Homo-oligomer: A and B are copies of this chain.
Amino acid sequence: MRPLLHPSIDDVTLEGILHALADPVRAAIYAELAARDGAATCSAFVNVIDREIPKSTLSQHFRALREAGLIRSERAGVEMRNQTRCKELEQRFPGLIPSIMKAYLVEAGEKSRSAKRKTAKKSAG
C-alpha cells in the first residue's frame, strides 16, 4: 500500500482543481466535506449521490481529490479521516473555491426545486 500523497500547496494547480471538481461525485464529496466542521470517513459518502457508489470507485475519487490538493486524508485506526484544505487553497487561489461552491449550491437549489415541482405534479395529477 503506497503512502498517501499530498502535494505541497505551491504545487497545486488550477487545472488539477478544475479537473477534480468537474466530476459530479467529487464535487458532491467536496461540498459535503466543506459543509462539515471536522473530518469524515470515505464510507460516509457511499450515498453522496442518488445511486450507491462502489467502494473501489469511491477510493479513486478520494485519491483524485487528495492528489489535486483539495483534501487531506489521514488514517485513524481502520478508517480514514478526510478534511478540506480550504485555508491553504484560499491563500493560493483567493476566492476560487468559495465561488465554485457557491455555483454548486445554485445548481443544487435548482435541482431540488425541479424535483419538488415533479412531486407536486404527481400528487396533483
Contact = CB atoms under 8 A, between A and B. Distances in A.
A49 to B, nearest CB: 12
Contacts of A98: 99
Contacts of A17: 103
A18 interface: yes
A4 interface: no
A101 to B, nearest CB: 10
Instruction: Tell me the number of copies of this protein.
Output: 2
Interface string A1-44: 00000000000011101110111100100000000000000000
Interface residues of A, number: 24
Interface stretch (A71-79, A80-88, A89-97, A115-123): A89-97
Contact of A96 (B13, B14, B15, B99): B99
Given A14-B27, A18-B18, A22-B22, 14 more contacts: A14-B104, A14-B106, A15-B23, A15-B27, A17-B103, A18-B21, A18-B27, A19-B19, A93-B103, A93-B106, A94-B102, A95-B99, A95-B102, A98-B99
